[in-house]
Amino acid sequence: MSSLSAPYRALTLGMIALVTLIAFEAVAVTTAMPTVARALDGLTLYALAFGGALAASVVGMVVAGAWGDARGPAGPTWAGVALFIAGLLIAGTAPDMWVLVGGRAVQGFGGGLVVVALYVVVGRAYPADLHPRVFAAFAGAWVLPSIAGPSIAGLIVEHLHWRWVFLGVVLLAVPSILLIAPGLRGLPPAERGTADLSIVGWAVAAAVSVGLLHFGGQRGGVDAVVLIGAGIAGLVFVTPKLLPAGTFTARRGLPSVVLLRGFAGAAFIQTDVFIPLMLTRERGFSPSAAGLTLTVGGLAWSLGSWYQSRLGQRLGPRARLTLGLSLIAVGVAAAAAVVAPAVPVPVVVGGWLLGGFGMGVSYPTMSALTLRLAPAGQQGRSSSSLQLSDSLHSTTVLAVSGTLFAALIATAPYAAYLAGYGLAFGLAVAGIWVARRTSTPTGTPGRASVPVG
């Protein structure tokens, strides 16, 4: 039986469509926002349009985890979809930039709810042997919009109107809702539990810290150092309250899976951001030509996801994760090597193909392993922790590397790039070690040994 066989087909296709729309919107807004800011005379709120949505999504992820564990995933899924659509409608009809920023925050909160709630739906609606395939499909749904999304959004802005970047997604969301409705109604009833509301307060504190990091990255000089320093200090204090106990000591089992998600995501996005900048600035590539390198990585990610869901199942999860992080490390090293003018550009293309394949092997494996290792009744909070680790690690690393890059690029450009790549390589290599701790000593889920909070 597959995830597209009759009992699961509509639910699978509907969830993939929803994830694709959320991913497309994240990419499309980046393309459209310069035009939006000019049209609404809101350049001073440009950064807030992104930072507000990101911070709200952090809170949404945590709320979805607690809500899903207490009452089942149907509630946060429907609420998330409704808020995501409402945010799009607010942004798409906004008369000024402040209203658009508010719509983006509503949209981000709804998207955070949906992304985590769908993980719990997978855990409750599908047998364990189908989890890798469903998560591989989710990975593809995130990657493909990153390849085609900017071009599509650009065409919409040029030939229709920037408002349709938001409003068009609303129309496309309706079929997705119709597809998932029967599957959500057919979920087994959830055991009634009590949500830990205190975690929402910690999530808000984390969102504020993320906002400080984001705004610090948009500024320079002393302001940037102060804001980024305050954001990192806040995350250092708050994050242990949101992730499984033992995450930052790489305790075996779920804590190591959550930590590994953060390391892998941060290493990849860090390199993905710097490759096109390096190729355009130092090698004279056009933006479109430099972007083809990222397209190669995205396609390889999809291929790696397909591989791990089928042929890759011959390897155990720990072996797949070790392989994936090793390939990411090779990809980062290849990008760093091309900083030297004597190294040909095809080295980074081939390396990033391996890096993308490594991400495709790793991400769905970590998602499926999280459901398997989650303590009883905590699939929602464990899935939330996985997404939070990814988001918070990536945000922190980008803020730190951006500050280092800004400080070095004028006087020591090679050192500026190597600082970023070195940080990414260190995370990937550390991830290889963490990957070996993602299984419990006995090789069994060991649920009682991985408390969350």
CATH number of residue 57's parent domain: 1.20.1250.20
At CB < 8 A and 24+ separation, what contacts does 221-228 make? 224/403, 224/406, 225/403, 228/399, 228/400, 228/403
Using one digit for the tens of pLDDT, what is the confidence trace for 188-238? 666 555 556 667 888 888 888 877 877 776 666 677 788 888 888 988 898
Tell me whether residue 85 is in a domain.
yes
- Region 37-65: mean pLDDT is 80
**Cα(56)–Cα(313) distance, rounded to whole angstroms?**
36
Residue 228 pLDDT: 82
Tell me whether residue 139 is in a domain.
yes
- Region 317-324: mean pLDDT is 93
What region does 262 belong to: left with phi over 0, alpha with psi -120 to 50, or beta?
Answer: alpha
- Region 362-390: mean pLDDT is 86
> Both 381 and 249 in a single domain?
yes
Q: Give me 381's structure tokens.
A: 């909070």
**Cα(35)–Cα(156) distance, rounded to whole angstroms?**
12
**Cα(439)–Cα(445) distance, rounded to whole angstroms?**
8
pLDDT greater than 80 at residue 45: no
Pairwise pLDDT comparison (449 vs 145), residue with the higher score: 145
Running DSSP on this structure, what letter comes out for residue 160? T
Tell me whether residue 172 is in a domain.
yes
Residue 129 pLDDT: 83
> Both 253 and 387 in a single domain?
yes
Indicate the burial class of 44 (C-beta count within 10 angstroms; 0-12, 13-18, 19 or more): exposed
Tell me whether residue 350 is in a domain.
yes
**Cα(333)–Cα(67) distance, rounded to whole angstroms?**
41
Counting the structural domains of the chain, the total is: 2
Tell me whether residue 113 is in a domain.
yes
Tell me whether residue 228 is in a domain.
no
Q: Are 438 and 256 in contact (CB under 8 A)?
A: yes
> Both 256 and 110 in a single domain?
no
Using one digit for the tens of pLDDT, what is the confidence trace for 58-90? 888 888 888 887 788 888 999 999 999 999 999
Using one digit for the tens of pLDDT, what is the confidence trace for 22-31? 888 877 787 7
What region does 443 belong to: left with phi over 0, alpha with psi -120 to 50, or beta?
Answer: left
The percent of residues in the chain predicted with pLDDT above 90, rounded, is 27
Q: Are 364 and 139 in contact (CB under 8 A)?
A: yes
> Both 329 and 428 in a single domain?
yes
Tell me whether residue 232 is in a domain.
no
Residue 191 pLDDT: 59
124: closest CA among 178, 72, 47? 72
> Both 253 and 151 in a single domain?
no
pTM of the model: 0.81
> Both 364 and 277 in a single domain?
yes
> Both 59 and 159 in a single domain?
yes
Residue 106 pLDDT: 94
Domain end (from 148, 163, 185): 185
Domain end (from 185, 201, 234): 185
**Cα(422)–Cα(31) distance, rounded to whole angstroms?**
29
> Both 170 and 60 in a single domain?
yes
Q: How many CA atoms does the CB half-sphere of 116 hold within 13 Å?
A: 37
Q: Please name the helix (run of DSSP H) or strand (run of DSSP E) that holds residue 78, with its range, or none.
A: helix 74-92
> Both 155 and 296 in a single domain?
no
pLDDT greater than 70 at residue 299: yes
Question: Which of the four pLDDT bands, split at 50, 70 and 90, describes residue 447?
Answer: very low
Q: Are 271 and 245 in contact (CB under 8 A)?
A: no
Neighbours of 41 (CB within 10 A): 10
Q: Give me 157's structure tokens.
A: 């802005």
Residue 446 pLDDT: 42
As a residue count, the chain comes to 453
pLDDT greater than 60 at residue 2: yes
pLDDT greater than 90 at residue 136: no
Indicate the burial class of 242 (C-beta count within 10 angstroms; 0-12, 13-18, 19 or more): buried
> Both 173 and 263 in a single domain?
no
Tell me whether residue 211 is in a domain.
no
Running DSSP on this structure, what letter comes out for residue 316? -
Domain end (from 134, 167, 185): 185
List Cα–Cα distances, 408 to 36, 75, 405, 411, in angstroms.
Answer: 32, 49, 5, 6
Question: Which of the four pLDDT bands, split at 50, 70 and 90, describes residue 443?
Answer: very low
Q: Give me 366's structure tokens.
A: 């970590």
Indicate the burial class of 409 (C-beta count within 10 angstroms; 0-12, 13-18, 19 or more): middle
pLDDT greater than 70 at residue 317: yes
Q: Which residues pair with 244 in a beta bridge?
A: 452
> Both 153 and 287 in a single domain?
no
> Both 377 and 309 in a single domain?
yes
The percent of residues in the chain predicted with pLDDT above 70, rounded, is 91
Domain that holds residue 78: 1-185
Residue 158 pLDDT: 82
**Cα(137)–Cα(115) distance, rounded to whole angstroms?**
14
Which residue stretches of 283-345 are H helix?
A: 287-309, 317-337
